[in-house]
């Protein structure tokens, strides 16, 4: 199904074409002056200038043709050649009926890549998730939901940091603390214990200690490098211990991500790409793409038209060690071989943009990317009131689990203050508080354009007023309550009808949803979904406040308003689901 904007644009394009101009001039947009008309066409200005005509005269001829279609209540001119349009109620109802009949088909825009891989999350083995993982997880999950909704075959990959010096640091630290473990016995080949010798708490305790010791002691740092090299070379005991690190971390991560409502299709890590590196390097050497430079191996990435010289991608250091860029390049190779995607998105901090520019250029130049488009979906930081990256009161990095519990506690307080959910049993109350807390965190993030930094203000985010996740949840729950009560009273939705201004405003808000979804997909901008959900909630609030629904005496009017309410709920729930925000049945 095409959007209302697309259909109106087709009518305007027909009019321009009939006047001898290109169809591209007939683009219809929501009006900047809704007092003059709900939609607007400004193409007459550009078309007339190009043809050397009077724009107002051209606009009048186009307007006459639009009037003749019978699809508009009013078609008027403003300024030097702006055309203002107000569709007929019948035009709006026809589009609403199509949306009502098949919401998914009506909302999901065409033109989505068939196969999409989305890399997001990116936690490290042996480290608990913290607030720094929040944006990648929330934005990445929203994008995977969005692309799936639009019809793409999506593969999401957590891409853990599980291969590098941090592993050697941990191995050495455990060897010092528990030297008698079988993993450290000379010549040991296994089998090794199935039970991990360390818990997640142990890993969180050991890693900072090991990192600090290596920083202060060159011998400790060198020992960690040797352990890392032995692990990557296949030392059996180290590999077995490393697998415990990964499994233990994955258990905790699964729980943490589940609390956010986030799931992944693949739990790959840097280690999965490591076996591909030797063959990839040999191939790049054989084709003359990888060259020696000061003892290291690099892949030049300069392109014609560059305004500044970009450094080459460093593949191997002079000692033969691979780097992050090498692993990322091998990961692209792996994804292309296994999935043959049309698009790969990397949802990673914007500060890594230069790194991905290097890797993506190398992947394209070498042909490793296949036909896949590669995009870095950067984002800004979550800051505290001081404008600096968000910390605990003690100044440390806040764990994600602690942040979620803070949000849940704030939600409990707000629910009590608002008198919401007070009559429900404690288990349901707790479930609602959890949902409200998650909505507060997610919407606060997604309502901002992803490249902007924002200040984390939990007290504001958990309000049930204003542009917040809890406000949107409450709006949806209010519609659910209305429809439940209608069913109990035997009142049923009827035929759609548009009469009052508030009904019309709500209808138009609903019909602009496909455009918002298309914008969010094409610009990788979840804030377009957040803005649209808020616009619908506000429009429904005005409609609800201005008109009787259940108490309406006219059965046809009551049925039409119930039908509009039911459609509002379906569209609003769709948008909230794309944002990853749960909607309770009641509050």
For the segment 300-322, the average pLDDT, to the nearest whole number, is: 90
Question: CA 15 to CA 8: how far, in whole Å?
Answer: 11
Give 197-241 pLDDT, tens digit per residue: 999 999 989 999 999 999 999 999 999 999 999 998 899 999 999
Give 412-456 pLDDT, tens digit per residue: 999 999 999 989 999 999 999 999 999 999 999 999 999 999 998
Instruction: Supply 427's token pair.
Output: 């288990």
Determine the pLDDT at residue 392: 62
What is the domain range of residue 207? 165-260
pLDDT higher at 389 or 584:
584
| Total of domains in the chain | 2
Among 72, 87, 102, give the residue marking a domain's end.
87
Q: Would you say residue 293 lies in a domain?
A: no
Q: Would you say residue 411 lies in a domain?
A: no
Give 368-381 pLDDT, tens digit per residue: 999 999 999 999 99
Q: Domain of 61: which CATH number?
A: 3.30.1360.70
Question: CA 571 to CA 532: how far, in whole Å?
Answer: 10
Q: Would you say residue 224 lies in a domain?
A: yes
Among 226, 244, 260, give the residue marking a domain's end.
260
Q: What is the pTM (predicted TM-score) of this model?
A: 0.93
Residue 310 has pLDDT above 90, yes or no: no
Determine the pLDDT at residue 319: 84
Give 115-164 pLDDT, tens digit per residue: 999 999 999 998 888 888 899 999 999 999 999 999 999 999 999 999 98
For the segment 401-405, the average pLDDT, to the nearest whole number, is: 90
Residue 1 has pLDDT above 60, yes or no: no
Q: What percent of the chain has pLDDT over 90?
A: 86
Question: CA 170 to CA 214: how far, in whole Å?
Answer: 11
Q: Would you say residue 563 lies in a domain?
A: no
Question: CA 44 to CA 586: how far, in whole Å?
Answer: 50
Among 260, 292, 323, give the residue marking a domain's end.
260
Give 268-280 pLDDT, tens digit per residue: 999 999 999 999 9
Longest CA pairwise span in the chain (Å):
91
Closest CA relative to residue 117, chosen from 327, 326, 325, 265: 265
Give the three-state DSSP class for 297. strand
Question: CA 342 to CA 350: how far, in whole Å?
Answer: 23
Q: Would you say residue 559 lies in a domain?
A: no
For tokens 């014609």, what's the residue?
304
Determine the pLDDT at residue 399: 85
Determine the pLDDT at residue 438: 96
pLDDT level of residue 395 (50, 70, 90 thresholds): low
Contact 411, 436 (CB under 8 A): yes
Give 464-503 pLDDT, tens digit per residue: 999 999 999 999 999 999 999 999 999 999 999 999 999 9
Q: Would you say residue 579 lies in a domain?
A: no
Taking the CA atoms of residue 356, residue 362, residue 366 and residue 371 in that order, the dihedral angle to the nearest 10 degrees is 30
């Amino acid at each position: 199904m095409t959007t209302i904007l697309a259909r109106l644009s087709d009518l305007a394009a027909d009019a321009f074409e009939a006047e001898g101009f290109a169809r591209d001039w007939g683009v219809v947009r929501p009006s900047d002056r809704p007092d003059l008309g709900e939609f607007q066409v400004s193409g007459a200005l550009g078309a007339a200038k190009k043809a050397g005509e009077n724009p107002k005269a051209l606009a009048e001829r186009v307007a006459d043709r639009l009037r003749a279609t019978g699809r508009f209540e009013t078609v008027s001119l403003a300024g030097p050649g702006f055309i203002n349009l107000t569709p007929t109620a019948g035009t709006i109802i026809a589009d609403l009926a199509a949306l009502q009949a098949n919401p998914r088909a009506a909302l999901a825009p065409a033109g989505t890549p068939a196969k999409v891989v989305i890399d997001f999350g990116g936690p490290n083995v042996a480290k608990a998730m913290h607030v720094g993982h929040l944006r990648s997880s929330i934005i990445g999950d929203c994008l995977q939901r969005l692309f799936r909704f639009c019809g793409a075959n999506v593969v999401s990959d957590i891409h853990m940091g599980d291969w590098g010096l941090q592993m050697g640091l941990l191995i050495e630290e455990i060897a010092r603390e528990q030297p008698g473990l079988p993993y450290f016995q000379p010549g040991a080949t296994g089998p090794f214990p199935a039970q991990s010798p360390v818990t997640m708490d142990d890993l969180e305790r050991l890693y900072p200690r090991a990192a600090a010791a290596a920083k202060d002691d060159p011998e400790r740092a060198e020992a960690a490098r040797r352990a890392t090299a032995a692990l990557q070379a296949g030392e059996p005991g180290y590999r077995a211990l490393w697998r415990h690190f990964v499994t233990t971390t994955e258990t905790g991560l699964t729980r943490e991500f589940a609390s956010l409502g986030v799931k992944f299709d693949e739990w790959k890590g840097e280690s999965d790409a490591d076996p591909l590196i030797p063959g990839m390097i040999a191939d790049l050497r054989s084709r003359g793409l990888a060259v020696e430079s000061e003892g290291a191996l690099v892949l030049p990435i300069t392109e014609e038209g560059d305004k500044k010289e970009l450094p080459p991608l460093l593949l191997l250091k002079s000692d033969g060690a691979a780097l992050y860029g090498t692993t990322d390049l091998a990961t692209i190779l792996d994804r292309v071989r296994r999935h043959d995607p049309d698009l790969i998105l990397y949802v990673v901090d914007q500060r890594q943009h230069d790194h991905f520019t290097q890797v993506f250029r190398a992947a394209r130049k070498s042909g490793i990317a296949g036909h896949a488009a590669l995009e870095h979906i950067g984002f800004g930081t979550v800051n505290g009131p001081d404008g600096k990256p968000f910390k605990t009161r003690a100044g440390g990095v806040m764990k994600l689990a602690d942040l979620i519990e803070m949000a849940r506690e704030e939600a409990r307080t707000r629910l009590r203050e608002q008198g919401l959910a007070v009559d429900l049993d404690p288990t349901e109350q707790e479930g609602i508080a959890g949902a409200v807390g998650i909505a507060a965190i997610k919407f606060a993030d997604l309502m901002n354009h992803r490249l902007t930094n924002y200040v984390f203000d939990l007290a504001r985010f958990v309000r049930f007023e204003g542009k917040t996740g809890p406000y949107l949840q409450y709006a949806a729950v209010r519609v659910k309550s209305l429809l439940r009560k209608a069913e109990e009273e035997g009142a049923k939705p009827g035929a759609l009808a548009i009469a009052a201004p508030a009904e019309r405003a709500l209808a138009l808000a609903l019909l602009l949803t496909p455009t918002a979804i298309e914008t969010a997909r094409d610009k990788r901008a979840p804030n377009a979904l957040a803005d649209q959900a808020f616009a619908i909630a506000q429009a429904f609030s005005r409609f609800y406040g201005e008109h009787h629904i259940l108490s309406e005496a006219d059965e046809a009017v009551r049925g039409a308003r119930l039908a509009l309410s039911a459609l509002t709920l379906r569209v609003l729930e769709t948008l909230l689901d794309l944002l990853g925000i749960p909607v309770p049945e009641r509050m």
